[in-house]
Amino acid sequence: LQRALIAYFLDKNTEAGYKEYQVPHLVNEASGYGTGQLPDKEGQMYHTAADDLYLIPTAEVPVTNMFRDVILTENELPVLCTAYTPCFRREAGSYGAHVRGLNRLHQFDKVEIVRIEHPDNSYVALDGMVEHVKMLLQELKLPYRILRLCGGDMGFTSALTYDFEVFSTAQDRWLEISSVSNFETFQANRLKLRFRDRDGKNHLAHTLNGSSLALPRVLAGILENYQTPEGIVIPEVLRSYTGFDIIN
């Protein structure tokens, strides 16, 4: 079922114009700094001291860093990327019943979408990414809600973030399954990611990314919402991937 979800998410992303990349799961310090995960004040990244490398917390890090020191032409924008990777997070400071099971893992799978945009178009692109994630959840027929985060709840790198949450009937609470963010020029400034306009002048691009989607909690949502006395019914959009209709 998880393999079906990964293939489904990647297929939907590529159908929407995103180009799939296979990226490394270990990055150097400069890469973590470029996208804003470093310095790691909260202690969330796994560090391999012998090689001075970091396990990625999200595919956003290696995907966005592919464009470090790149000057695109205005005609090359937008750049749309997608990648599936395992993600590694220490989850320092997390404790209690809400971190058990599939809720909060040190390693989990996620499909990511990343966009490099002209500053004049980045918020239109953000709305499009929100609609794309909505489409995935609607096709899976999972109960969800969207939150527009206030400044105090956003990461310091983000200019605007929307969170998607799926309702867990077993826990009687909402679980975050996606964040979609516009970073404007924050990451581009660190990465020196620019585009050249028609007059030959260089400008910082805007970067955006979002989860489409995080696998453990989507999987849990399906197991809960599709449970019947006969077993777990497979969502209709996944049946061509699984080859079966029910887990009994």
The one-letter code for the residue type at 32 is G
Q: Where are the beta strands (DSSP E) in the chain?
A: 19-20, 26-27, 47-48, 53-55, 71-73, 79-88, 107-117, 144-148, 160-168, 173-182, 194-196, 202-204, 206-214, 227-228, 231-233, 246-247
Active-site choice (29, 90, 91, 104): 104
Please state the rounded mean pLDDT for residues 125-133.
Answer: 99
Domain spans of the chain, in order of start: 2-242
Catalytic residue check, 217: yes
Catalytic residue check, 89: yes
Contacts 24+ apart (CB under 8 A), 223-230: 224/168, 224/169, 224/170, 225/141, 225/142, 225/143, 225/169
pLDDT at 43: 82
Active-site choice (115, 190, 194, 217): 217
* Interior angle at CA 52, CA 46 and CA 55, nearest 5: 30
Given pLDDT bands bounded at 50, 70 and 90, which one contains residue 170? confident
State the Cα–Cα distance between residues 152 and 115, nearest whole angstrom: 24
State the Cα–Cα distance between residues 25 and 46, nearest whole angstrom: 11
* Class of domain 2-242 as given by CATH: alpha beta
Catalytic residue check, 104: yes
β-sheet bridge partners, residue 160: 182
Active-site choice (42, 76, 176, 236): 176
Given pLDDT bands bounded at 50, 70 and 90, which one contains residue 171? confident
Q: What is the pTM of this model?
A: 0.93
The yes-or-no verdict on residue 236 having pLDDT over 60 is yes
pLDDT at 42: 72
Q: Say whether 25 sits in a helix, a strand or coil.
A: coil
pLDDT at 120: 98
Give the tens place of pLDDT for each residue, 3-60. 999 999 999 999 999 999 999 999 999 999 999 999 987 788 999 999 999 999 999 9
Active-site choice (31, 89, 122, 212): 89
State the Cα–Cα distance between residues 56 and 59, nearest whole angstrom: 7
Q: Which residue has the higher pLDDT, 116 or 92?
A: 116
